[in-house]
Amino acid sequence: MHRGPDPVFQAPAGPIQGWRDGAVLRATGIRYARAARFCPPVAEPVATTTIRATAPAPACPQVADPLLAQLVGDLWAGVRFDEDCLRLSVTCPAAQRPGERLPVIVWVHGGSYVVGAGDLPLYDPVALVTEQRVVFVAVTYRLGLLGFLGGDGGPPPNLGLLDIREALRWVQRNIAAFGGDPALVTLLGQSSGADASAHLLLAADRRWRAKPSGA
């Protein structure tokens, strides 16, 4: 990574300080919502000070899969784990024309709903962003017991899906500040991330597709 002068994106969520990485600009670890344990997410309020988005999003606490480590190596080197994981990271081309609106890809990582994170180096989108000129948003959401525990009299089910929906709402409100077009958003996932995307597209409540009031 080649750091340069730090850009500040003037978004409805508040000013967001990112960083330059060669031909792309990044804003990493942006909090899109908060949630108490086993509770639905609540949208992050508008910031009154500059949001520092210069560190990767933490991963949801999870149990490492030794078989996966044998296949692809140590994915977790340098990764921080925290229940406060409702974060997203934006990568966009550094060179944009004034008023340009680029297609947006929202990435939902896989991992059988129990492992994974949006900011793993494995998913680095820099080649995709520079070659295809898109704005890329990687979403981190709750997993395992924290995100998908449900049952009669228990926590609301599918909290992880509600997290992703809240991230999509954040994108609708704020992605124009990064040069993205909120009307040209593609929801893209791998493995359980693709399954989550299909559930959201089929959901009766698709209010994330419209811009809600507020920030």
pLDDT tens column, 143-156:
999 999 877 777 78
Q: Give the mean pLDDT of 23-32.
A: 97
Q: Which helix (H) or strand (E) holds 200?
A: helix 192-202
The tens digit of pLDDT for each residue in 65-118 reads: 777 666 655 666 678 889 999 999 999 999 998 889 999 999 999 999 998 999
Please provide the average confidence, as pLDDT, over all residues in the chain. Answer: 89
User: Do 142 and 62 meet the contact criterion of CB atoms below 8 Å apart?
Assistant: no
* pTM over the 0.85 mark: yes
Whether 121 shows a pLDDT value over 50: the answer reads yes
CA 184/CA 174 separation, integer angstroms: 13
Structure confidence at residue 62 (pLDDT): 87
Residue 79, pLDDT score: 80
Would you list the DSSP string of 10-77?
EETTEEEE-EEETTEEEEEEEE-EE--TTS--EEPPPPSS-EE-BSPPPBPP----HHHHHHH--TTT
Percent with pLDDT over 70 in the chain:
87
Residue 204 tokens, joined: 């009766």
CATH number of 8-209: 3.40.50.1820
Average pLDDT over residues 40-57: 96
SS3 2: coil
How do strand 102-108 and strand 135-139 relate by DSSP bridges? Answer: parallel
Nearest to 208 by CA among 18, 6, 33: 33
